[in-house]
């Protein structure tokens, strides 16, 4: 059974940093594309950063380019997202997602993923 569990959220001041982690279990992590998504109150869930099975093709939403870094450790079955220079607009529930896909491309829309965690809250104060 595919399971992903997020951790690392919290309250941080604007321009601060947080690192989110996603722990995977129940599947061959190496065969899955992974992604970070977020949903703010009243808004649709959106792709923030995704990464292909080998970790060689990260994708970033325009709003986080240059500030967020996604990475994965296939041996430890962990997905990370380092978030620097956080803005108040980054406040949202952040979700880890997984999808079995070994591809030369990286996909990062909600429709591309079928396995989701429960989310971790990120709050950025001004």
Q: What is the pLDDT of residues 34-91, one digit of tens each?
A: 999 999 999 999 999 999 999 999 999 999 999 999 999 999 999 999 999 999 999 9
Average pLDDT over residues 111-124: 97
Q: What is the dihedral of CA 14, 92, 29, 69, to 10 degrees?
A: -30
Burial of 8 (0-12, 13-18, 19+ CB in 10 A): middle
Average pLDDT value for residue range 22-31: 96
Residues 37 and 95 sit within 8 Å (Cβ to Cβ): yes
Distances (CA, A) of 103 to 31, 60, 83, 85, 92: 9, 17, 26, 31, 29
Please state, in angstroms and rounded to a whole number, the distance separating the CA atoms of residues 62 and 64. 6
Q: What counts of helices (H) and strands (E) characterise the chain?
A: 0, 11
What percent of the chain lies above the pLDDT cut of 90? Answer: 95
| pLDDT confidence of residue 103 | 77
CA 38 from chain centre, in angstroms, equals: 8
Residue 117 confidence (pLDDT): 98
Inter-residue contact 51 to 57 (CB < 8 Å): yes
């Amino acid at each position: 059974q595919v399971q992903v569990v997020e951790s690392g959220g919290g309250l941080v001041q604007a321009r601060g940093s947080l690192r989110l982690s996603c722990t995977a279990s129940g599947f061959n992590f190496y065969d899955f594309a992974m992604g970070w998504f977020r949903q703010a109150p009243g808004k649709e869930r959106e792709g923030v950063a995704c990464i292909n099975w080998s970790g060689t093709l990260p994708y970033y939403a325009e709003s986080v380019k240059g500030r967020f870094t996604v990475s994965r450790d296939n041996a430890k079955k962990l997905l990370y997202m380092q978030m620097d220079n956080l803005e108040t607009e980054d406040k949202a529930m952040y979700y880890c997602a997984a999808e079995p896909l070994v591809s030369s491309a990286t996909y990062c829309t909600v429709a591309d993923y079928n396995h989701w965690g429960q989310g971790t809250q990120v709050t950025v104060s001004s």
